């Protein structure tokens, strides 16, 4: 399969902390990002909960904040819809 490079900027402290954790887990940061990408594709969503608190202040931008808030609302609506379907099935 053809390979491609992905490049992006990251807060240095965050990078160092991630590198330390990856080292403890016996993996390279590249492997962690590949694992994240594969999991995201398999699940067709971000494979963990994301909140506004997860966005570093120096990286926060109004578009990202809006996306996170909208994602949280969508997740809440989906959970309520799932509960309603579950309850309707119990009633029948």
pLDDT bin (cut points 50, 70, 90) of residue 55 is low
pLDDT band, residue 59 (cuts 50/70/90)? low
Pair 26, 60 in one domain: no
CB count within 10 Å of CB 36 equals 13
37 and 80 assigned to the same domain: no
Instruction: Give 54 or 37, the one with higher predicted confidence.
Output: 37
What pLDDT score does 19 carry? 94
Residue 22 burial (10 A CB sphere; 0-12, 13-18, 19+): middle
Q: Please check whether residues 56 and 34 belong to one and the same domain.
A: no
Question: Of residues 53 and 75, which shows the higher confidence score?
Answer: 75
Domain limits for position 44: 1-48
Residue 65 pLDDT greater than 80, yes or no: no
**What's the structural domain count of the chain?**
2
- Whether 29 shows a pLDDT value over 80: the answer reads yes
């Amino acid at each position: 399969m053809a390979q491609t490079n992905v490049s992006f900027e990251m807060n240095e402290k965050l990078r160092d902390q991630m590198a330390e954790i990856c080292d403890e887990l016996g993996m390279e940061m590249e492997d962690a990002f590949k694992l994240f990408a594969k999991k995201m594709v398999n699940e067709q969503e971000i494979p963990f909960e994301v909140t506004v608190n997860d966005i570093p202040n120096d990286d926060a931008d109004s578009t990202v904040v809006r996306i996170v808030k909208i994602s949280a609302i969508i997740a809440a609506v989906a959970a309520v819809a799932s509960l309603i379907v579950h309850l309707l099935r119990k009633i029948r």
